[in-house]
């Protein structure tokens, strides 16, 4: 019988899950569509109820970044454009926008949102393995009708993640933010007091 004992060394999956950090500063190495398609073709093996695969993607490569930022700035008031230009330039080398189709049925909506999040985490872990850093951004502009329109997000769709991407320097990985041990959030049935 297989015993489910903890290995002396973390498995490679546990290692990557623990080591992955949100990365906010990137090198100049360009991010190409070939790499992103490769990563996404693994990430989409996430669980998805009813095999609905509710996601689609908009990718902006490093080569297109400058033109994309100027395009997107149209959505922002004049007095915010300089700030947003600096922000987008400084905080991404490329962008991947994950768009989910919104099922009007609440159960299916939740399942689809959960599947999209699982797929994004797959992507983040796969990217980490290739030294491609990710910040999963949920800034207010993800809900802005002007941003949605410029990005071709249709009624009945939502932006789940505006991912800022770029290669990272292994010497400059942020310190981990320790997690609460699961035991502190775990109730054993023997102690359950409803």
Ligand X SMILES: Cc1cc2nc3c(=O)[nH]c(=O)nc-3n(C[C@H](O)[C@H](O)[C@H](O)COP(=O)(O)O)c2cc1C
Q: Which residues bind ligand X (CB under 6 A)?
A: 21-22, 135-139, 177
Q: For residues 80 and 139, which CB has a smaller minimum distance to ligand X in the complex? A: 139
CA 146 to CA 75: how far, in whole Å?
A: 5
Q: How far is the CB of 160 from ligand X (least distance, A)?
A: 8
Annotated binding site for FMN: 20-22, 49, 136-138
Q: For residues 107 and 177, which CB has a smaller minimum distance to ligand X in the complex? A: 177
CA 29 to CA 86: how far, in whole Å?
A: 19
Question: Cα 170 vs. chain centroid, distance in angstroms?
Answer: 20
Annotated binding site: 20-22, 49, 136-138
Q: How far is the CB of 63 from ligand X (least distance, A)?
A: 25
Q: How far is the CB of 136 from ligand X (least distance, A)?
A: 4
Q: E strands, the chain, where?
A: 55-60, 94-101, 132-137, 157-167
Q: For residues 21 and 131, which CB has a smaller minimum distance to ligand X in the complex? A: 21
Q: In 3D, which of 91, 98, 86, 30 has the Cα closest to residue 59? A: 98
């Amino acid at each position: 019988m297989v015993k489910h004992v903890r290995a002396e060394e973390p498995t490679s999956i546990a290692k990557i899950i623990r080591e992955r950090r949100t990365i906010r500063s990137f090198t100049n190495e360009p991010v190409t569509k070939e790499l992103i398609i490769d990563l996404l073709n693994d990430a989409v093996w996430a669980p998805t109820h009813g095999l609905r695969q509710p996601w689609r993607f908009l990718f902006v490569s490093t080569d297109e970044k400058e033109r994309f930022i100027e395009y997107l700035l149209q959505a922002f008031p004049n007095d915010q454009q300089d700030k947003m230009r600096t922000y987008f330039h400084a905080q991404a080398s490329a962008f991947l926008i994950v768009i989910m189709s919104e099922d009007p049925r609440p159960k299916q909506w939740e399942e689809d949102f959960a599947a999209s999040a699982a797929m994004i985490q797959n992507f983040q872990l796969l990217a980490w393995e290739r030294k491609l850093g990710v910040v999963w951004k949920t800034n207010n502009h993800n809900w802005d009708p002007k941003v949605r329109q410029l990005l071709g997000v249709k009624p009945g769709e939502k932006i789940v993640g505006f991912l800022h991407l770029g290669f990272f320097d292994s010497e400059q990985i942020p310190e981990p933010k320790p997690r609460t041990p699961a035991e502190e959030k775990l109730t054993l049935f023997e102690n359950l007091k409803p």
